Amino acid sequence: MQNQRILLAARPIGDIKPTDFEARTETLEALEEGKARIRVVYLSLDPAMRGWMSADENSYVPPIPLGSTMRGIATGIVAQSKTDKLKEGDWVSGFLGWTQYADVAPEEVNVLPQAVPMDAYMGVLGLAGATAYCGYKEILEPQAGQTLCVTGAAGSVGSLVGQMAKADGLKVIGIAGSEEKCKWLTDELGFDAALNYKTDNLMKGIHDFAPDGLDIHFENVGGAPFQAALYNMKAHGKIALCGLISTYNSTEAPAGPELSAMIKKRLTMKGFVMTDHWHRFGEILGKVGEYLGKGQLKYRLDVVEGLENAPTAINKLFDGSNKGKLTIKVSEL
């Protein structure tokens, strides 16, 4: 059986380039005892991948070794099994990587219920949903009547954060990168307001929406949107720092927000990554599923066909052209 996988060939400088990867086709060896062979169906493309490609050892995961399969979370089907803990036909998710087939030990994957479409596990019932819930519920500790701002609001995480907050009785303003995305937030997802960071005055827009200040803020972007939210926080507010995607391809240190507001307003800001909570993944997704079951969450996927297109598709995350959770369809279900 032939397998195609994509390796990290070089560490990106600035924007990610197709030449930073190498496609390799090879014959699979016989499956080892105690393992299962997974046929990958969907591969998640995530902003965190940019950090994983760097040589930075001072992070929450080690860098991807050059010449190895590109790291990535994926869902797939057990095609062959030599372990009684996984059976053929099971749906699973895990760090399977940029590959058509992956041989794994049972403890390396989570078995997925087949009660919803598999693509749901790419977004609302996948890493995005778990990240949104963990940062919003467990770090920000929201209360009904509070005011929340979320940057990257039309993204896979931000859009879920805002919808959860609306379901919980909060006022929500989102910041996104186009009029179409802002319209989607307010007209379809129920956000109270949305600002376009490319055209709107963010400082004024947030102040007009929340003249008394923001109680809580969920940060995905960095730069000017973060600065505007930080400036408009109430004293003793809380900030969940999930990502800084505007800086990931920078070759120079970003100017960043002026953090004196952290002191002046006695703010609490906490950075988090979902991998720290991987052991609670099933529990957290069960809580996300409660919102979904009540019809309180909508999601959309941006699906690109073919593993070979992953090296170019990943840049949609950074130029803002993706509309929904960016996903590679590796094979048919």
pLDDT of residue 310: 97
Write the CA distances from 251 to 20, 104, 135, integer angstroms: 16, 36, 28
Decide which of 87 and 60 is more confident: 87
Residues 6+ apart with CB under 8 A from 304: 310, 313, 326, 327, 328, 329
- Answer whether 2-122+300-329 and 127-275 agree in fold: no
**Length in residues, the chain:** 333
Greatest C-alpha distance within the chain: 65
Q: Residue 306: pLDDT band by 50, 70, 90 thresholds?
A: very high
Q: Which helix (H) or strand (E) holds 310?
A: helix 310-313
Query: Are the C-beta atoms of residues 55 and 62 closer than 8 Å to each other?
Result: no
Q: Which of 203-207, 250-254, 272-276, 320-324 has the highest mean pLDDT?
A: 203-207
Among 277, 331, 267, CA closest to 138: 277
Domain locations in the chain? 2-122+300-329, 127-275
The DSSP symbol for 58 reads: S
pLDDT of residue 277: 86
Task: Quote the CA–CA distance of 243 and 174 in Å, as a whole number.
Answer: 15
Read off the pLDDT of each residue in 173-187 and give the average, rounded to a whole number. 97
Query: Are the C-beta atoms of residues 171 and 190 closer than 8 Å to each other?
Result: no
Task: Quote the CA–CA distance of 219 and 216 in Å, as a whole number.
Answer: 10
pLDDT of residue 253: 67
Residue 217, exposed/middle/buried by CB under 10 A (0-12, 13-18, 19+)?
buried
Q: HSE, CB side, 13 Å, CA atoms: give it for residue 280.
A: 14
Please determine, for residue 255, whether its predicted confidence score (pLDDT) is greater than 70. Answer: no
The vertex-259 CA angle with 253 and 262, nearest 5°, equals: 150
Q: Is 127-275 in CATH node 3.40.50.720? A: yes
Please determine, for residue 247, whether its predicted confidence score (pLDDT) is greater than 80. Answer: no
Read off the pLDDT of each residue in 56-84 and give the average, rounded to a whole number. 94
CATH superfamily of 2-122+300-329: Medium-chain alcohol dehydrogenases, catalytic domain (3.90.180.10)
Tens-digit pLDDT profile for residues 207-227: 999 999 999 999 999 999 999
Q: Residue 257: pLDDT band by 50, 70, 90 thresholds?
A: confident
